């Protein structure tokens, strides 16, 4: 990401802090949590359907 002066900055975090930072970066990029949640839900549905067909 970039700081206020346009210089690239790297941040390394884990767990909750990493999620919080990613959440805020997503906001700046115009991505809402609901958009990600819907995508994850659909991917999980597809995985379940695939495993049911195998079993």
Based on the residue annotation, tell me whether 43 is a catalytic residue of this protein.
Answer: no
Cα separation values, 29 from 16, 17, 47, 53, 55, Å: 20, 18, 28, 38, 41
Q: At what angle do helices 15-28 and 33-54 cross, to 10 degrees?
A: 110
Q: Which of 24, 43, 44, 49 is catalytic?
A: 24
Active-site residues, by number, are: 24
């Amino acid at each position: 990401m970039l700081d206020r002066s346009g210089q690239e900055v790297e941040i390394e975090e884990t767990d909750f802090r990493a999620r919080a930072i990613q959440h805020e970066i997503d906001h700046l990029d115009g991505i809402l949590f609901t958009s990600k949640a819907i995508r994850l839900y659909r991917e999980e549905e597809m995985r379940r359907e695939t495993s049911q067909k195998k079993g």
